Amino acid sequence: MRERVVITALGCCTPLGNTYDSVTAALRDGTTGIREIQKFDTASFKSHFAGVPEVGNMRTSSLKRSRSWDELYINNAVKGLMAWPGMDLSHFSPQRIGCFLGVDEPVPDIHQTVDFVYDLQRDADKAFTNMAEVMEKHYRISDFARLDSTQVLRQVHAQIPFHGPSMVHLGLCAASLQAIGTGFEQVARGRVDAAIVGGASAKVTPEHYIGLESVDVICTDASLPFDGLSRPFDTRRSGYVPAEGAVLFLLESYTHALRRGAVPLMEIVGYGASMNASHIVKPDPESREMKLSMTRALASAGLNPSQIGLVNAHGTSTVLNDLHESAAICSVLSERVPVTANKSLHGHMIAAAGAMETLNTLIGLREGFIPGTRNLETPDPQCKANIIGQTQSAHIEYCLKNSFGMGGLAASMIFRRIDA
Mean pLDDT by 10 residues, the chain (420 residues): 96 99 99 96 96 89 58 96 95 97 81 67 62 68 70 94 96 94 98 98 92 92 97 98 98 97 98 87 89 99 99 98 98 99 99 99 99 99 98 98 91 93
User: pLDDT digit string (tens) for 43-93?
Assistant: 999 999 999 999 999 876 545 444 578 889 999 999 999 999 999 989 999
Decide yes or no: CATH 3.20.20.300 for domain 5-106+148-417: no
Q: Report, in this order, helix, strand and coil percent for the chain, each rounded to 5.
A: 40, 20, 40
Q: What is the DSSP letter of 229?
A: S
Q: Where in the chain is the domain with CATH 3.40.47.10?
A: 5-106+148-417
pLDDT of residue 65: 40
Q: What is the pLDDT of residue 66?
A: 40
Q: Is 173 annotated in the active site?
A: yes
pLDDT (0 to 100) of residue 58: 85
Give the active site residue among 314, 346, 383, 399.
314
Q: Within a 13 Å sphere around the CA of 82, how many CA atoms are in the beta-carbon half? A: 14
Contacts with 399 (C-beta within 8 Å, 6 or more apart), sequence order? 308, 309, 310, 311, 312, 361, 364, 365, 414, 415, 417
Q: What is the pLDDT of residue 1?
A: 78
β-bridge pairing 194-201 and 245-253: antiparallel
Is position 383 annotated as part of the catalytic site? Answer: no
Calpha distance 264→258 (Å, rounded): 8
pLDDT at 46: 95
Query: Catalytic site residue 330?
Result: no
The whole model's pTM is what?
0.93
What pLDDT does 60 receive?
A: 64
pLDDT per position as a tens digit, 190-214: 999 999 999 999 999 998 999 999 8
Q: Which of 262, 90, 54, 82 is nearest to 156 (CA)?
A: 82
**pLDDT value of position 105:** 83
Which entry of 12, 173, 383, 399 is annotated as an active-site residue? 173
What is the Cα–Cα distance from 241 to 348, expressed in whole angstroms?
Answer: 6
